[in-house]
Amino acid sequence: MSDSACFKDYRAYTNFLPDRYGKATLFENDAILVGLNCLVPGQCMQKHAHVEQNRFYLVLEGSGKVWVDEEEQLVSGGMLVWVPAGRAHRIENQGEQPLVMLVGIAPAHAD
């Protein structure tokens, strides 16, 4: 499948880094950003919040644990996480395989 402005194979954008989680933007306009968060086993996204942005994370590969405020859930392929604006969240790859999550952020530019 070819890569274009409207069609992308997310696997070509996975980005694993040894010292922090990887990020890649797939699509973006003023209304929404669609990208990837990629974590190797043991990596985490520290707890933080975005005052004006709603986010979702869809687990494409791997498994881990996600916190939204004080609620926590083990997640794996196919699971969807909703993080409303202003809610703190944290992601940790507690599995043995890389964790790849599709992320949607709206609005794309805020905070």
Residue 5 lies in a domain: no
Q: In this predicted structure, what is the pLDDT of residue 111? A: 57
Rounded average pLDDT over 50-77? 97
Q: In this predicted structure, what is the pLDDT of residue 5? A: 87
Residue 88 lies in a domain: yes
By three-state DSSP, how is residue 50 classified?
Answer: coil
Residue 10 lies in a domain: no
Q: In this predicted structure, what is the pLDDT of residue 1? A: 47
pTM above 0.85, yes or no: yes
Residue 26 lies in a domain: no
Residue 11 lies in a domain: no
Confidence label for 63 from pLDDT (cuts 50, 70 and 90): very high
Question: How many Å apart are CA 78 and CA 81, to the nearest integer?
Answer: 10
AA identity, residue 21: Y
Q: Which domain holds residue 80?
A: 34-105
Residue 66 lies in a domain: yes
Residue 6 lies in a domain: no
Residue 89 lies in a domain: yes
Number of domains present in the structure of the chain: 1
The CA-based angle 70-39-97, given to 5 degrees, is 105
What CATH code is carried by the domain that includes residue 96?
A: 2.60.120.10
By three-state DSSP, how is residue 93 classified?
Answer: coil
pLDDT digits (tens, 9 = 90+) for 64-97: 999 999 999 999 999 999 999 999 999 999 999 9
95 and 41 in contact (C-beta within 8 Å)?
Answer: yes
